[in-house]
Amino acid sequence: MRKAFLFLALALGALYVFSTGASTEDGGFQTGTPEILSMSALAFGPEGVLFIGDGKGGAVFAVDLGDKAPNGGKDLLTVPNLEGKIAAFLGTSKDDVMIHDMAVNPISQNVYLAVSRGRGQWDREWLLPNDIADASVLVKVDSYGALSEVPLKGVRFAKAALPNPVSPDKKHEWKEGIPLRTDTITDVSYSGGTLYVAGLSNEEFASALWRFSYPFTGKAAATTLENYHGAHGQFETEAPIRTFVPYALGGKDHILAAYLCTPLVTFPLADLKDGEHVKGRTVAEFGSGNYPLDMLVYKKDGQEKLLIANSDLPFLIVDPRDIESYEGAIAEPTKTYVAGVRYEPRSGVGVQQMDLLNPETILTIRRHPGGNLDLVSLPVKWF
Amino acid sequence: MVLKRSFAGILVLGSCGFVACGPEEPARAPALAFVNDPENEHFGTVLLTGARQSRDWPAVFTVRVEGADREAPPVLGDYIVEGDSVRFRPRFAFTAGLAYRSAFENVEITFAMPGRDPEERPRVEAAYPSSAEVPENLLRLYVHFSHPMRAKDVPARVHLYDSDGREVPLPFVEIETGLWDSEGKRLTLLFHPGRVKRGVGPNLALGPPLRAGFVYRLVVDRGMKDQRGFELEAPFERELRVAPPDRTSPDPTAWKLNRVEDRSAPLEVELDEPLDRALLLRLIRVERDGGLEVEGVASASENETRFLFTPREPWSPGSYRLFVDPDIEDLAGNKPGRLFDEEIGRAPSAAKGADLSFEIR
């Protein structure tokens, strides 16, 4: 009897799986080949799951890489001439490859890069790799510095579509000939069961932050954003967040976001309601003519610090306690380009990508004065 | 072993030549060949034949970029097993101008992708002034390219060297994107006016960029790229022999208009000195007596000492006038009636245009 019951349960279960297809697995996972049109942004989630933001496809993918062998090592990882090695891997010269994003698997400390060919087309200021080409190859750099491709065929993955991403027909206002679609997804970050996605929606106020519960349930919360930019002397709703981190300020969850020309803006998570338009609080201006490229939080001597890598400025270090104690907001044009919360500049120009390799090491991809683009580890104790 | 490409677009050879590898041979030795895609010279695959058992192909059959980083992995691609041969298809097309090396066991071939077709490459078609001799206070140089060029290459790719081979520092006005015409084919190099003009700061501090009695070289590096990314077919070099400064204004009233004998022939004007070519071609117009402008094509010859105007329609008999705009300049920026740098204390005079009449019989 008991056996028969078990059989019935199995049969019903099989019927259920069969009738609703592969997507019935928890969180919509299925095994196959995800149709990723562009790897615009990368971030790791739990259990070695890599989130891939696909700006062109207007979706995010969770890919189970099966890369779960723990590595608690503290070794520094350095790969000289990373760009030359990627170029050789893609069969070309190093002036024709681009790295769109980098993410470190915190379990294995393996490094993942979204790469493309086509840098030869990069002929103007203010463009970013996503404006030039679609990253189509995922490259893994292991702890020995060896490069290999991560084939995205026959993998376990789940997909979630962005509600109302910016239309492919819309053109960028000041980057001639560039569709806004290249900024559909500018950054992704996972924290506490939620995947956060920054970019451009098709709403009147385009700048958007989407939130997906992970495992994916199918529904995303979307909020459009606005901030006051002191260096430009105006409220901005079109410019997307360039890089951000979820972070608790004064015990309350926030998004700390940096924008082009470089305001730092805070959004309390509690304010980010689905379908609403939210004004952030601008707490600092770090200078015009600069893309903030990456942001992370490191911990030194028990104190957390925010580190920002930039296209045209050195490293900027911000003490979150200074943000907490900063009262008011920048809401008027700034006479100089710098205002608000203090920051500490630190040597580190030319850093294009950044992530924590482990709690004691910051991994960077950095263009050195000689021209080489290297993978370089920087011990946290140096900061 | 060096590979040769045949005209048929295939090509060759591994450990054995075609003869030794004939189909009648029972156990073929492994061989590698680059096989061109007839549709596109930069696409192709590498074919391995005679490998006897299946393997972990990416580990044993590799294609690498020649001269690449030694620690780089082999080129990324797919391995397609076809009977007893294996074909490597790169994920991305092979790159023009690069060479590749493929290896399997002790067999090795190299193959090179053709470079950019030289006929397609940009070149410098002309530079003005045409004359090898220029005044010390030369104001502009023009470089004409065959294709629209990348604007931003100018500061890094255009150089002026003195007779000792030293680069003249900052000879031209520094403009990040260069001074280009709307097509991107004509580059204007404007000598720093503050260095050319006597008695002003940069002139006193650095001196004039060119000095009479010396020979300079204008060089455009081969690395200057056109808008498609093609480099110049060859570097460009022009010698400039520097004569004393020109401190006289051009005088259109001294120009000699040659009689037009053939009605479809150009009007030829002998100038009193070489003039700035771009301004010369733009700032002279021809009118019929009643004021109607004559359409036609302006050109210059004899080192810009001769102006030619070819009418679109043959000349009709009658009276004509040649209007010379007061902004026309000689090589040193002097306008008719007004020098580029007047002596201190002399009130600058207004530039004067001219109005020269001629008859077509």
At CB < 8 Å, which residues of chain B contact A?
63-65, 68-69, 71-77, 90-95, 98, 100, 150, 152, 227, 229
Task: Tell me what pLDDT residue A5 has.
Answer: 44
Going by pLDDT thresholds of 50, 70 and 90, the confidence category of residue B239 is very high
Q: Does A84 touch chain B (CB under 8 A)?
A: yes
Question: Which of B63, B95, B176 to probe the A interface (max A CBs under 10 A)?
Answer: B95
Whether residue B76 and residue A85 make contact (CB cut-off 8 A), yes or no, is no
Task: Tell me what pLDDT residue B227 has.
Answer: 73
Whether residue B92 and residue A92 make contact (CB cut-off 8 A), yes or no, is yes
Q: Is the pLDDT of residue A54 over 80?
A: yes
Going by pLDDT thresholds of 50, 70 and 90, the confidence category of residue B361 is confident
Question: Position of tokens 């000041």?
Answer: A174
Q: Does A137 touch chain B (CB under 8 A)?
A: yes
Task: Tell me what pLDDT residue A7 has.
Answer: 44
Question: Is the dihedral angle over the CA atoms B243, B249, B254, B258 positive or is it negative?
Answer: positive
Q: Is the pLDDT of residue B24 over 70?
A: no
Q: Which residues of B touch A89 (CB under 8 A)?
A: 72-76
Task: Tell me what pLDDT residue A341 has.
Answer: 97
Task: Tell me what pLDDT residue A10 has.
Answer: 43
Whether residue A88 and residue B72 make contact (CB cut-off 8 A), yes or no, is yes
| B22 φ, ψ (degrees, to nearest 5) | -60, 155
Q: Is the pLDDT of residue B76 over 70?
A: yes
pLDDT higher for B15 or B198? B198
**Residue B124 is encoded by which pair of tokens?**
């410098």
Task: Tell me what pLDDT residue B151 has.
Answer: 79
Q: Which residues of B touch A146 (CB under 8 A)?
A: 73
**Cβ distance B236 to B149 under 8 Å?**
no
Task: Tell me what pLDDT residue B291 has.
Answer: 85
Question: Is the dihedral angle over the CA atoms B28, B29, B30, B35 positive or is it negative?
Answer: negative
pLDDT higher for A21 or A34? A34
Q: Is residue B185 packed enough to be buried (19+ CB in 10 Å), middle (13-18) or exposed (0-12)?
A: middle
Residues 303-322 of A with CB under 8 A from B: none
pLDDT tens, A306-347? 999 999 999 999 999 999 999 989 999 988 889 999 999 999
Task: Tell me what pLDDT residue B226 has.
Answer: 79
pTM over 0.90: no
- Say how far apart CA A1 and CA A239 lie, in whole Å: 65
In this structure, what is the dihedral angle of CA atoms A77, A82, A85, A87, given to the nearest 10 degrees? Answer: 150
Between A48-62, B8-22, B165-179, the lowest mean confidence (pLDDT) is in B8-22
**Cβ distance B75 to A91 under 8 Å?**
yes
Q: Is the pLDDT of residue A35 over 60?
A: yes
Going by pLDDT thresholds of 50, 70 and 90, the confidence category of residue A21 is very low
Q: Which residues of B touch A123 (CB under 8 A)?
A: 150, 152, 227
Interface A–B counts its CB contacts (< 8 A) at: 65
Distance separating the N- and C-terminal Cα atoms of chain B: 76
pLDDT tens, B171-186? 898 877 788 998 899 9
Q: Which residues of A touch B69 (CB under 8 A)?
A: 81, 84-85, 88
pLDDT higher for B155 or A301? A301
Q: Which residues of B touch A90 (CB under 8 A)?
A: 75-76, 91-92
Question: Which of A77, A81, A89 to probe the B interface (max B CBs under 10 A)?
Answer: A89
- Residues of chain A with pLDDT > 70, as a percent, come to 93
Number of Cα atoms under 13 Å in the Cβ half of residue B234? 5
Task: Tell me what pLDDT residue B346 has.
Answer: 65
**Residue A263 is encoded by which pair of tokens?**
């305001």
Q: Which residues of B touch A91 (CB under 8 A)?
A: 63, 65, 75-77, 90-95, 98, 100
Question: Position of tokens 């045409």?
Answer: B130
**CA closest to B66 among chain A residues:** A88
Task: Tell me what pLDDT residue B7 has.
Answer: 32
Read off the pLDDT of each residue in A262-279 and give the average, rounded to a whole number: 96
Whether residue A91 and residue B94 make contact (CB cut-off 8 A), yes or no, is yes
Task: Tell me what pLDDT residue B287 has.
Answer: 94
Give the ipTM.
0.85
Task: Tell me what pLDDT residue B22 has.
Answer: 43
Whether residue A91 and residue B91 make contact (CB cut-off 8 A), yes or no, is yes
Whether residue B76 and residue A121 make contact (CB cut-off 8 A), yes or no, is no
Task: Give the Cβ contact number of residue A83 at 10 Å.
Answer: 26
B286-290: long-range contacts, CB 8 A cutoff, minimum separation 24:
B286/B311, B286/B320, B286/B321, B286/B322, B286/B323, B287/B320, B287/B321, B287/B323, B288/B318, B288/B319, B288/B320, B289/B318, B289/B319, B289/B320, B289/B321
Nearest CA to CA, how far is B148 from chain A (Å)?
14
Read off the pLDDT of each residue in B61-77 and give the average, rounded to a whole number: 94
Q: In angstroms, what CA-CA distances link B108 with A179, B8, B64, B75, B91? A: 45, 22, 11, 15, 21
**Between vectors from CA B273 to CA B268 and to CA B279, what angle results, nearest 5°?**
75
Q: Is the pLDDT of residue A18 over 50?
A: no
Considering only the beta carbons, identify the residue of A84, A91, A137 that sits closest to B95. A91
Question: Position of tokens 């700006």?
Answer: A55
pLDDT tens, A356-369? 999 999 999 999 99
3-class DSSP assignment, residue B131? coil
Considering only the beta carbons, identify the residue of A92, A123, A147 that sits closest to B73. A147
**CA closest to B226 among chain A residues:** A123
Task: Tell me what pLDDT residue A24 has.
Answer: 45
Name the H helices within B187-341: 193-196, 201-206, 277-282
Task: Tell me what pLDDT residue A206 has.
Answer: 96
Closest C-alpha among A81, A84, A148, A80 to residue A113: A148
Rounded to the nearest integer, the mean pLDDT of chain A is 92
Task: Tell me what pLDDT residue B119 has.
Answer: 66
Largest CA-CA distance found in chain A, in angstroms, rounded: 82
Task: Tell me what pLDDT residue B345 has.
Answer: 65
Whether residue B76 and residue A90 make contact (CB cut-off 8 A), yes or no, is yes
- Say how far apart CA A264 and CA A340 lie, in whole Å: 9
Q: Which residues of A touch B101 (CB under 8 A)?
A: none
Number of Cα atoms under 13 Å in the Cβ half of residue A53? 33
Q: Is the pLDDT of residue A100 over 90?
A: yes
Closest C-alpha among B240, B234, B188, B236 to residue B217: B240
Task: Tell me what pLDDT residue A348 has.
Answer: 92
pLDDT higher for B84 or A90? A90
Task: Tell me what pLDDT residue A240 has.
Answer: 97
pLDDT tens, B295-339? 999 999 999 999 999 999 999 999 999 999 999 999 999 999 888
Read off the pLDDT of each residue in A158-177 and give the average, rounded to a whole number: 93
Nearest CA to CA, how far is A145 from chain B (Å)?
9
Going by pLDDT thresholds of 50, 70 and 90, the confidence category of residue B116 is low
pLDDT higher for A208 or B192? A208
Question: Which parts of B231-303 are beta strand (E)?
Answer: 236-243, 256-257, 267-270, 284-288, 296-301
Whether residue B65 and residue A91 make contact (CB cut-off 8 A), yes or no, is yes
**Between vectors from CA A78 to CA A38 and to CA A41, what angle results, nearest 5°?**
15
Nearest CA to CA, how far is B345 from chain A (Å)?
43
- Residues of chain B with pLDDT > 90, as a percent, come to 57
Whether residue A91 and residue B72 make contact (CB cut-off 8 A), yes or no, is no
Query: Amino acid letter at B94?
Result: F
pLDDT tens, B246-286? 999 999 999 999 989 899 899 999 999 999 999 999 999 99
